[in-house]
């Protein structure tokens, strides 16, 4: 027991590192179930028609990108496979980097900018910018990320407010996140809204699901893996789920061990 009491924290790091790495090298094939939050998002997008117009907002920074970027990648993949047209925005400065990466890859596969998608780039202002976009997308983004006039683009014809979009899928690592989108756009324009969030933000956003202000929620890498499973196209997120499970096992074992040691030491401390 004294070994555990005086355990160097670096031993835990090494153990965690090795046990997370092992299933990445030798996958165990644990099943990934699709939860109701993810299923809600998947079903809504699956029922969209070719030519429908949706917003995908890349409101995340590099710190949370490993959690959120796989969600955005798989949702955009599903939307394009359905023939849905995408208006890409970013209300976080680093978000535009990820928007560029995703849309550049699809442009190489034949999707046409201005017709199949438009990358509007970054708009500063946080919640104020989200409100401005909801009120008049063309006025908020008169030019796209490459400096082209948005008003003359085929994809933006007929767009007056956020009510003209069939869905807003916003991926966030902070603000603007669900609170801002719900306050400024969903409540006013009744546009269906789904969020992709870093895992820590998910419990805070759940009330919006229960009140039906949100149609679906992808929570972290797990959410992305569930979506890949629902789409029947497992990618990097699904590949990481064995490792995720092993990492959780390590944490749970050490939480239990820590509590056992605490309970064993409690009477001694009380006597002292």
Q: Are 54 and 21 in contact (CB under 8 A)?
A: no
Confirm or reject binding of residue 184 to other proteins (CB under 8 A): yes
Task: Return d(Cα 178, Cα 269) in angstroms, integer.
Answer: 46
User: Which of 24/260 has CB closer to other proteins?
Assistant: 24
Residue 81 as a binder of other proteins (CB under 8 A): the answer is: no
List the one residue out of 234, 231, 177 whose CA is nearest residue 200: 177
Position 119 contacts other proteins (CB under 8 A):
no
* Token code pair at residue 109: 């596969």
Q: Decide if residue 147 touches other proteins (CB under 8 A).
A: yes
**Residue in 83, 154, 203, 258 binding other proteins, rule: CB under 8 A:** 203
* Binding-site member from 112, 143, 160, 190 for other proteins (CB under 8 A): 143
**104 lies in the binding site for other proteins (CB under 8 A):** no
Pick from 15, 153, 239, 261: which binds other proteins (CB under 8 A)?
Answer: 239
**Does position 29 bind other proteins by CB under 8 A?**
no
Token readout for 272 is 């002292």
Using DSSP, state whether 123 is helix, strand or coil. coil
Q: With binding defined as CB under 8 A, does residue 139 bind other proteins?
A: no
How many other β-carbons are positioned within 10 Å of the β-carbon of residue 143?
Answer: 12
Yes or no: say if 165 and 87 are a contact pair by the CB < 8 Å rule: yes
Residue 74 interacts with other proteins (CB under 8 A)? Answer: no
35 touches other proteins (CB under 8 A) = no
76 binds other proteins, rule: CB under 8 A: no
Structure token pair of residue 121: 């780039």
Closest residue by Cα to residue 178 from 197, 160, 154: 197
**For other proteins, which is the closer residue by CB, 48 or 55?**
55
Q: How far apart are CA 238 and CA 229, in angstroms?
A: 7
Nearest in space to 53 (alpha carbons), one of 191, 254, 230: 191
39 forms part of the interface with other proteins (CB under 8 A): no
Please report which residue ranges of the chain form alpha helices under DSSP H: 2-5, 9-25, 36-46, 65-81, 95-108, 127-135, 137-140, 178-181, 187-189, 202-210, 220-230, 236-239, 241-271
| Bridge partners of residue 55, in order along the sequence | 87, 168
Q: How far is 188 from 26, CA to CA, in rounded Å?
A: 50
| Smallest distance, other proteins to C-beta of residue 272, A | 28
Tell the smallest beta-carbon distance from residue 96 to other proteins (Å). 7
* 194 is a contact residue toward other proteins (CB under 8 A): no
Shortest spacing between CB 68 and other proteins, in angstroms: 10
Q: How far is the CB of 3 from other proteins (least distance, A)?
A: 20
Q: Which is nearer to other proteins, 87 or 224 (CB)?
A: 224
Q: Which residues bind other proteins (CB under 8 A)?
A: 10, 13, 16-17, 20-21, 24-25, 62, 64-67, 93-94, 96, 122-124, 127-128, 131, 142-143, 147, 179, 182-184, 186-188, 198-200, 202-204, 207, 210-213, 219-222, 235-236, 239-240, 243-244, 247-248, 251
């Amino acid at each position: 027991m004294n070994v555990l009491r005086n355990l160097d924290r670096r031993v835990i790091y090494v153990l965690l590192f090795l046990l997370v790495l092992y299933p990445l090298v030798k996958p165990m094939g644990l099943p990934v179930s699709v939860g109701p939050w993810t299923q809600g998002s998947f079903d809504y997008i699956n029922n969209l028609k070719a030519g429908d117009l949706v917003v995908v907002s890349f409101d995340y920074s590099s710190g949370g990108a490993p959690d959120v970027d796989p969600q955005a990648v798989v949702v955009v993949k599903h939307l394009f496979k359905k023939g849905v047209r995408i208006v890409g925005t970013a209300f976080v400065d680093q978000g535009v980097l990820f928007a560029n990466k995703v849309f550049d890859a699809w442009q190489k596969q034949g999707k046409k900018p201005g017709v199949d998608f438009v990358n509007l780039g970054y708009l500063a202002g946080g919640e104020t910018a989200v409100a401005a976009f909801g009120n008049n997308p063309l006025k908020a983004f008169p030019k796209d990320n490459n400096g082209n006039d948005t008003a003359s683009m085929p994809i933006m014809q007929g767009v007056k407010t956020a009510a003209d979009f069939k869905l807003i899928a916003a991926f966030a690592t902070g603000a603007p996140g669900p609170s801002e989108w719900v306050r400024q756009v969903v409540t006013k324009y009744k546009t269906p809204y789904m969020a992709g969030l870093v895992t820590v933000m998910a419990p805070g956003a759940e009330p919006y699901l229960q009140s039906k202000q949100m149609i679906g929620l992808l929570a972290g890498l797990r959410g992305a893996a569930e979506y890949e499973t629902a789409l029947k196209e497992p990618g990097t997120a699904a590949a990481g789920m064995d490792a995720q499970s092993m990492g959780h096992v390590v944490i749970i074992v050490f939480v239990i061990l820590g509590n056992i040691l605490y309970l064993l030491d409690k009477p001694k401390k009380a006597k002292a």
